[in-house]
Structure 1
Amino acid sequence: MIGKILNGRYHIIRQLGKGGFGETYLAEDQWLDRDNRCVVKRLKPDVINAVTLRLFETEAQVLTKLGSHDQIPQLLAHFQQDQEFYLVQEFIDGHDLTQEIRTNYQWSETEVIKLLEEILAILEFVHQQNPPVIHRDIKPANIMRRRKDGKIMLIDFGGVKRVKTEGGGSTLLTPVVGTQGYTPDEQWKNKAQLCSDIYAVGIMAIEALTGLQPRQHLRDSKTGQLLWRDRAEVD
């Protein structure tokens, strides 16, 4: 992929990441003169048919709506080439929170509250879409600190899916995704809800407060809840 030009304009510079949804690359939009950096995501579905095409278009529409928020990357383009699907998104100059939420480094309660307020304000926008959507993979690696103003950005919406409400409950319509440690039990059972994202945010807060990764905490044998309060100084 490196050096390839996609859709006659997006020059692939280097790979940024790889996951269950495909690969992510830093690219340059050759049609632009100024800062022309962008992020290209290559998706490789197992089967390409009318349903696949419809789902891809639907997801692009969802990402377009979400990108209207200042703290979510904008979707710049989407296209199909050589039996593969591509999303082109705004490049965010900054670093992800794995550089801030680190093992053996504890945040203060005040710092964590500030982070929570900012993350939850973005999630409120995501969850209030019509129909609502769930991010499903909130973790430090998917939250960036924008260099120009220090604001956080919620990224990597590869797992975001729309939900439909039936009888007051939200039912997920797509395959299971998530990251071990941050994903709640109901999501692994393909029953993710809006509150599943809130759980992941809570796990991030505990990680910042204690300086321990989720897998390093013991769990209550009866409730399954993390045992962490003796590792942090909180109200």
Structure 2
Amino acid sequence: MVLANGTILRKRYEIIQLLGRGGFGETYLAEDIEVQLATKPKRVVKRLLPQMMQPVILDLFKKEAATLDRLGENNSQIARFFDYFQENQEFYLVQGFIEGHNLSHEITQGKKLSESYVIQLLSDFLPILAYLHQNQIIHRDIKPENIMRRNSDGKLVLIDFGIVKEMGSVVVSQGQTRYTVSAGTPGYMPIEQQVGKPEYSSDIYAVGVMAIFALTGISPDKLPLDKRTREVVWRQGTSVSEGLANILDKMVRYNCSHRYQDATEALAAIQSLTSPLPTKPSLPPPNLNRRTFCK
């Protein structure tokens, strides 16, 4: 049963309306009535399904939520986690509410956007993703619906990390924690992510197919693949410069080792289109303890 409007959680969050339902649970718009302001700040409250209440899942979630909260506190273009709690044997998480619209209102099926729009989109979005990658975070669910354009300044804000769905796939076997399925959205997930081994370049793939979606008007799950190489086939029917096309091709390579390896590298490539003397990007130090699926 969904929460009724007016329900107050934790003596603090008053439910205003149901925003949606999905595989993890329900999403509500709420007001933080504890804040002593005439206009109460709005929050997004998510109620998780009972099957996501295993102790190991909640422990993993809390650890990563704390990391993401810290990142959001230092970067206004990442939606913050404000709170997580249990009430009436149910688990809730609270995020900041972004006043604006998501990019699915701009990037739509059948609508071809200009090359200048796509270059600006990548120039604005890749620095946000680079910040995550430099802090060893893989988003895992990049798509237009998870990128907001904020009304106040027009800037992009990244929301809804794949963490919730990823946590729902955790099992414990013989004392070891593992993932049984991948988190993400069909069409935006490269092969390594589909088998539960995402890399930073998996996020690059998602950004690339989103850009191709904008140029072609063809949603990622409908883009044709070369039967032999499994590479995305997209250039026909579009008017795009060779420079941008080559960058997008590299972003969506089937083999993750052939893509840009993180958002900083991809951003440098995009900047080279508009800057006559691009500076060499400052890459984060490699994580030598990280196992990789890319060969």
TM-score by length of 2: 0.71
Q: Could you tell me which amino acid in structure 2 is paired with residue 144 of structure 1?
A: M
Distance 1:47 1:200, change over 3 A: closer
Name which of 139, 144, 148 aligns with 1:144: 148
Of 148-157 and 17-26, the range deviating more from structure 2: 17-26
User: Residue 30 of structure 1 aligns with which residue?
Assistant: 33
- For 1:51, the equivalent position in structure 2 comes to 56
CA contact (8 A) 1:137 1:179 kept: yes
What is the aligned partner in structure 1 of residue 157 from structure 2? 153
Aligned to 2:4: 2
Gaps of 5+ in 2: 168-176, 242-295
Deviation at 1:203, TM superposition (A): 0.4
Match 1:103 to one of 95, 105, 109: 109
d(CA) in 1 for partners of 2:119 and 2:43? Answer: 32
* Cα distance change of structure 1 residues 27 and 158 upon mapping to structure 2, 3 Å threshold: farther
- Which structure 2 residues correspond to residues 211-222 of structure 1 after superposition, within 5 A? 211-222=217-228
Task: Report the CA distance between 1:19 and its aligned residue.
Answer: 2.3
Would the alpha carbon gap of residues 9 and 158 (structure 1) be closer, same or farther in structure 2, given more than 3 Å must change? farther
More strand by share: 1
Distance 2:90 2:183 in 1: 21
Aligned match of 2:91 in 85, 91, 105? Answer: 85
Query: In the alignment, is residue 39 of structure 1 matched against residue 47 of structure 2?
Result: no
1:185/1:77 Cα in 2 relative to 1: closer, same or farther (>3 Å)?
same
Detail structure 1 runs of 4+ shifted over 6 Å in the superposition: none
Does the 8 Å contact 1:21/1:158 carry over to 2? no
CA contact (8 A) 2:187 2:222 kept: no
Q: Is residue 2:19 matched to residue 1:16?
A: yes
RMSD: 2.0
- Please name the residue that 2:201 is paired with: 195
Per-residue CA deviations over 1:79-125 (Å, capped at 9, x if unaligned) read 11122221111110000111100122111111101101221111111
Q: Give the aligned residue type for 1:119.
A: F
Q: CA–CA distance in 1 between the matches of 2:214 and 2:79? A: 24
Q: How many angstroms apart in 2 are the aligned matches of 1:43 and 1:86?
A: 6
Deviation of 1:52 after TM superposition, in Å, equals 3.5
SS at match of 2:51: coil
Q: Structure 1 residues 43 and 110, CA, compared in 2 at 3 Å: closer, same or farther?
A: same
Alpha-carbon offset, residue 176 of structure 1: 1.3
The whole-number CA distance in structure 1 between the counterparts of 2:194 and 2:54 is: 27
- Distance in 2 separating the partners of 1:61 and 1:215: 33
What is the percentage of aligned positions where both structures have the same residue?
A: 50
Q: For structure 1, which runs of at least 5 residues remain unmatched after alignment?
A: 163-171
In the other structure, the counterpart of 1:122 is: 128
Shift in Å, 1:51: 2.4
Instruction: Report the CA distance between 1:27 and its aligned residue.
Output: 0.4
Q: Secondary structure at the residue paired with 1:110?
A: helix
Contact 2:188 2:221 (8 Å CA) reproduced: no
Question: Matches of 1:58 and 1:183 in 2, distance apart?
Answer: 24
Query: CA offset at residue 77 of structure 1?
Result: 1.6
Query: What CA distance in whole angstroms lies between the structure 2 residues aligned with 1:91 and 1:18?
Result: 17
1:71 to partner: Cα distance: 0.5
